[in-house]
Amino acid sequence: MSYQSGFKQDLFKDQTIFIAGGGGGLGRCIAHELASLGASIVLAGRTMKNLQRTESEIIEDGGCVLGCYDLELRDEPAVIELVATISNQHGTIHGLVNAAGGQFPSKLENLSLNGWNAVLQNNLTSYFLVAREVYNQGMKQHGGVIVNIGADYDRGMPGMGHNGAARAGLSNLTFTAATEWARSGVRVNCVIPGFIATTGLDRYPEEDWQALAAIERKIPLARHGTAAEISAMVVFLLSDMAAYVTGADFRVDGGIHNGAGGFLFQPSEAQNSKTFNGFHRDERPHLLRK
């Protein structure tokens, strides 16, 4: 069995796409779909074991992974060297997916400066460094597409204010880069997932699992999303079908941003809700398996 994408076969034939954070979660799923559509994939992240797992899965499914690189994406010299290595060894980078991030829950009153800085560096600085170098070392000359994976910051993020600040900055960075780099033929957009059923949810403290599972009541479509539903948006934005789309946020969140009810409206029981999950190797988080 292979990835069941809704896009045409060989959509990304002869294209190299670099996925920062391709060792797990959304990045792993996106790498699988792009490889199934003919892209040659380059993976980077912190943990080589996770990257090699994604690589071996893709190769087993008949796809192409050009290389895996483990590094700290917040390290400027390391990122500069990485992009140079990719360009020298594998040629033109046609697309970049910035999907490497990480955060932890904390109220602002309990948040240390080290914790604040770590999350901003993970979820904003690393995205900037990778995008800047991919642009300066190639896309400035030949064009390309960048898709950032963000999070919904619009109404604040109580309990994770450091992450909200980073994600707000990422969207603003997306808008600025899209304008500054447009005349080089580079498009830049940001996908904002809602609550997605990946194993990343299991990394939250177990005392938060019940709340994470119950969030479905606040989602108009009354369910968590799938990694494949995020990947589908990323694939569209990377493709030529989105050639006139740049400098925008795209929410893929089941409508949670608008809320499931209101003062004069309470939702009925959900019915007829469809789920798309073309990812044949998807793994449901433990907290949603009950």
5 inside domain: no
pTM of the model: 0.96
Q: In this predicted structure, what is the pLDDT of residue 289?
A: 81
Neighbour count for residue 71 (Cβ, 10 Å):
16
User: Which residue segment(s) compose the domain that 129 sits in?
Assistant: 16-288
Q: Note down pLDDT in tens along the chain; length 290 residues.
A: 899 999 999 999 999 999 999 999 999 999 999 999 999 999 999 999 999 999 999 999 999 999 999 999 999 999 999 999 999 999 999 999 999 988 888 999 999 999 999 999 999 999 999 999 999 999 999 999 999 999 999 989 999 999 999 999 999 999 999 999 999 999 999 999 999 999 888 888 888 888 889 999 999 999 999 999 999 999 999 999 999 999 999 999 999 999 888 888 988 888 898 999 999 999 999 988 86
Please give, one letter per residue, the 3-state secondary structure of the chain: CCCCCCCCCCCCCCCEEEEECCCCHHHHHHHHHHHHCCCEEEEEECCHHHHHHHHHHHHHCCCEEEEEEECCCCCHHHHHHHHHHHHHHHCCCCEEEECCCCCCCECHHHCCHHHHHHHHHHHHHHHHHHHHHHHHHHHHHHCEEEEEECCCCCCCCCCEHHHHHHHHHHHHHHHHHHHHHHHHCEEEEEEEECCECCHHHHHCCHHHHHHHHHHHHHCCCCCCECHHHHHHHHHHHHCHHHCCCCCCEEEECCCHHHCCCCCCCCCCCCCCCCCCCCCCCCCCCHHHCC
| Model pLDDT, residue 73 | 97
- For position 102, what pLDDT does the model report? 87
Whether 6 maps to a domain, the answer reads no
Q: Answer whether residue 97 is part of any domain.
A: yes
How far is 197 from 225, CA to CA, in rounded Å? 6
Task: Report the pLDDT value the prediction gives residue 290, as an integer from 0 to 100.
Answer: 63
Model pLDDT, residue 151: 95
The first and second tokens of residue 148, run together, are 């950032």
Q: Is residue 194 part of a domain?
A: yes
Residue 11 resides in a domain: no
> Does residue 4 belong to any structural domain of this protein?
no
Q: Which two tokens stand for residue 164?
A: 């909200």
Tokens of 29: 């799923």
Residue 189: name the closest of 141, 120, 243 by CA: 243
Task: For residue 124, give the CATH number of its domain.
Answer: 3.40.50.720
User: Does residue 105 sit within a domain?
Assistant: yes
pLDDT score of 201: 86
Residue 244 to residues 150, 241, 278: CA-CA distances in angstroms? 21, 8, 26
> Could you tell me if residue 9 is inside a domain?
no
Q: Which residues are bridge partners to 64 per DSSP?
A: 40
Q: Looking at the 3D structure of the chain, how many domains does it have?
A: 1
Beta pairing partners, 45: 70
